[in-house]
Amino acid sequence: MNPDASTIAAGAPIEVDLSPVAEGQDIKVFWRGKPIYISHRTKKQIDEARGVNVASLPDPETDEARVKSGHDQWLVVIGICTHLGCIPIAHEGNYDGFFCPCHGSQYDSSGRIRQGPAPANLPVPPYQFVSDTKIQIG
Amino acid sequence: MSGPSDYQPSNPALQWIERRLPIFGLMHSSFVAYPTPRNLNYWWTFGAILSFMLGIQILTGVILAMHYTPHADLAFKSVELIVRDVNYGWLLRNMHAVGASMFFVAVYVHMFRGLYYGSYKEPREVLWILGVIIYLLMMATGFMGYVLPWGQMSFWGATVITNLFSAIPYFGESIVTLLWGGYSVGNPTLNRFFSLHYLLPFLIAGVVVLHVWALHVAGQNNPDGVEPKSEKDTVLFTPHATIKDMFGVACFMLLYAWFIFYMPNYLGDADNYIPANPGVTPPHIVPEWYYLPFYAILRSIPNKLAGVIAMFGAIIILCFLPWLDAAKTKSSKYRPLAKQFFWIFVVVCILLGYLGAQPPEGIYVVAGRVLTVCYFAYFLIVLPLLSRIEKPRPVPNSISDAVLAKTGSRSTPMVSTAIVLALAGSLFAGSVDSAKASEGSDQPPGNKWSFSGPFGKFDRGALQRGLKVYKEVCASCHGLSYVAFRNLAEPGGPGYSVAQAAAFASEYKLKDGPNDAGDMFERAGRPADYFPSPFPNEQAARAANGGAAPPDLSLITKARSYKRGFPWFVFDFFSQYQEQGPDYVSAVLQGFDDHVPEGVTIPEGSYYNKYFPGHAIKMPKPLSDGQVTYDDGSPATVAQYAKDVTTFLMWTAEPHMEARKRLGFQVFVFLILFAGLMYFTKKKVWADSH
Ligand code: FES
């Protein structure tokens, strides 16, 4: 009952052009049926994400480890709440990040869990920059 | 099913079979000659009611499966087509959907009855555990069935529930992938759920056979909890129990029919009339009502794994009940303390169910935690403790003694009734508070609709005017893709003739093809065509409307609702109020205001609307006075337009509503007569047994 060949083939990597995404905006793309949030973070959001004491987080991870160095303004995360799989809403909640409407989990501007029942940070999908304004997810 | 029988059919052909396969003897000893305690009350008819419901579900389900398409792109539409085009499809669908709820109503009564009368105790432990297994299978079946219509709640319910398994350490993720057959809930998931939804009811039927077998070996428990000792304690299954069960089933069918014919959507969620959309989570996900207590337990625990364990534990714990409650006295009738705690436990379950439907915030979270503790405390602390410290009243010597001494013992329920009333009262008070708190959001005003109530009919004039408003105003942005031109001439609709509908269709130019040369071409509409949509697809609709796609209107009056709150949803059951959708639609059409009240900010490109959630709507004010001319002299005002077009949209959402209510009345007359007949037959049969 595992995924069949065509489902796996349809899950091949995709390329996304980032040039139309202005600072403070984000876009949602679908990869393997999952929504991927790509946010162009503001300076304030980056500072907030780096300012917290990592050890105090429920799922400790530095912001640096969640973005590609040299492209610190870009946050790419899978937009699926790690609690029970709803889609969090961007730019909501108390941490300048994401808010899940289902059971109230809140994520910060680095996609890390800060409050609520979700156990883990929003996962970062495998991706790399092919050029300065283009990424390949997968 | 209890040992060999000496029954011999009189017909030689049957005798021939009987000698080779003693099936008639088996039937006879199980359902005719089987001795049943003579003091059973009506709570014992729920076994028969459950078998009846299982039969109904399998029967309607098999027919529905003949018309259903298990594909992510087609499932939602195929369900709509069953309701609209299949002969009595609306009836089958309502019976099946409501039937699931009724099945759970009956199973909960059946389980609470077992709990109250100690039906799980020695020698009925295996019988009870088989029952818990049936219950678990039912939950799985119900959940997968709810996914099949592929609406928003189907999809997101499936997402949330399958993700429960990801809490399992190490294997969690791979189990979830296995359930999905992909990387997220999608077409493979729908396919396997359909297959399993078809399979599980037959497994249930199999376990039911074991359940009945175990029952007939151990014998039925009874309200006094003393085993039958002599012939005097029992009556024959047929006719005594059979006729009593028939009466019970008839009464239950009255309730069932009330939902099927008058409130088919009362137990469902409006969001499930919106096709599944993997990109948008509905603001408030609620499972079907019968899972709510467990959902509340899940949510009240702030840790994911612990929450999932608690939720499953709440069901599994039932398996250990025979050993948790070691009291010798079976029936709570003779256990003054156990009886009161039982009723408290019932109220705890109901309150948990109420909380499961509330948003997980503030007081609801705290209350959920308290009640979760109460739930487990009942099994883990109260029952084991009671069996040590409680002094039960003496039980009668035999069942016939109990029947003869059927007086007195009516005073003790007072205490538990008082407890129940107090708890219900506090729930009421609490919800009035929360209703006050939410008064900030505007409730749509109620309207008088021609189609409300048990005898409601569509106002033909309003339908025709509404069609005109739709065609001249709404149709430029909104589709009506489930409605065909031929529907306009169908009974219960706007009352056009077939020729008129054909003429109406031919005014439309539709794209068809490709033809023999491989080209697309335009042709006039035919009665079999559906109303054309204004945009080729959702992306185009979004692009043309500033990012918000105008929704298809075919189902809009069923897909929109607003929260009614606690006391109201109880009254609605009796008043058959189910016009939230139409009230909301007509309120939004009239709720535009150029003057934005203070404290509300409306973003660029949106408009203020008093009744739209969040108040910022992308649709500009669609209607203004005098915009559409009416030929029949009705006032050309926004209020009238809104009323007419909403009536029309109610018809598009449920074209067979008049047939439903008409048939409902006939069924009710029949059922009441039938139940009365059963009642008097039962009295006659039992006349010498009391
Ligand atoms: S799914 Fe997001 S909080 Fe539960």
**Delimiting residues of CATH 1.20.810.10 domain(s) in chain B:** 34-275
- The answer, yes or no, to whether residue B157 has pLDDT greater than 50, is yes
CATH class entry, domain B460-663: mainly alpha
Which protein residue's CA is at the shortest distance from atom 3 of ligand 1? A103
How much distance in Å is there from the Cα of A84 to the middle of ligand 1? 5
How high is the pLDDT of residue B643? Answer: 94
Tell me, yes or no, if A11 comes closer than 8 A to chain B by beta carbon: yes
Q: Average of pLDDT values for B81-88?
A: 95
How much distance in Å is there from the Cα of B312 to the middle of ligand 1? 18
Q: Of B420, B436, B371, which Cα lies nearest the Cα of B567?
A: B436
Kindly report which listed range (A60-74, A94-108, B372-386) carries the lowest average pLDDT score: A94-108
Contact partners, residue B100, CB within 8 Å, separation at least 6: B57, B142, B145, B146, B288
Read off the pTM. 0.89
Nearest CA in chain A to B159: A85
How much distance in Å is there from the Cα of B97 to the middle of ligand 1? 27
Q: Who lines ligand 1 at CB under 6 A?
A: A 81, 83-86, 100, 102-105, 116-118
Contact B268, B670 (CB under 8 A): no
Contact A83 B303 (CB under 8 A): no
Nearest CA in chain A to B362: A104
Q: Average of pLDDT values for A48-53?
A: 87
The continuous run of DSSP H or E covering B355 comes out as helix B336-356
Tell me, yes or no, if A118 comes closer than 8 A to chain B by beta carbon: yes
Contact A103 B304 (CB under 8 A): no
* Every domain of chain A and the residues it spans: 19-137
How high is the pLDDT of residue B428? Answer: 52
Digit-coded pLDDT (tens) for B589-644: 998 988 888 877 777 778 888 888 878 888 889 998 989 999 888 999 999 999 99
* Nearest CB to A86; choose among B156, B166, B305: B156
Which ligand 1 atom minimizes the distance to the CA of A116? Answer: 3
How high is the pLDDT of residue B435? Answer: 42
**Delimiting residues of CATH 1.10.760.10 domain(s) in chain B:** 460-663
Question: ipTM greater than 0.85, yes or no?
Answer: no
CATH class entry, domain B34-275: mainly alpha
Contact A87 B281 (CB under 8 A): yes
CB contact residues (below 8 A), chain B span 276-315, against chain A: 278-285, 299, 301-305, 307
Digit-coded pLDDT (tens) for B384-410: 999 899 999 999 888 888 888 764 444
Q: Of B227, B145, B230, which Cα lies nearest the Cα of B190?
A: B145
How high is the pLDDT of residue A49? Answer: 87
CB neighbours of residue B496 within 10 Å: 20
Contact B303 A35 (CB under 8 A): no
* Nearest CB to A33; choose among B178, B278, B360: B278
Measured in angstroms, the CA of B136 and the nearest CA of chain A are apart by 21
- The answer, yes or no, to whether residue B437 has pLDDT greater than 80, is no
Contact B160 A86 (CB under 8 A): yes
How much distance in Å is there from the Cα of B2 to the middle of ligand 1? 51
H-only helix segments in B221-260: 242-257
CATH topology of domain A19-137: Rieske Iron-sulfur Protein (2.102.10)
Contact B283, B153 (CB under 8 A): no
Within chain A, strands assigned E span 14-17, 26-31, 34-40, 74-78, 89-92, 97-99, 106-107, 113-115, 127-131, 134-137
- The answer, yes or no, to whether residue B431 has pLDDT greater than 60, is no
Strand partners, A15: A136
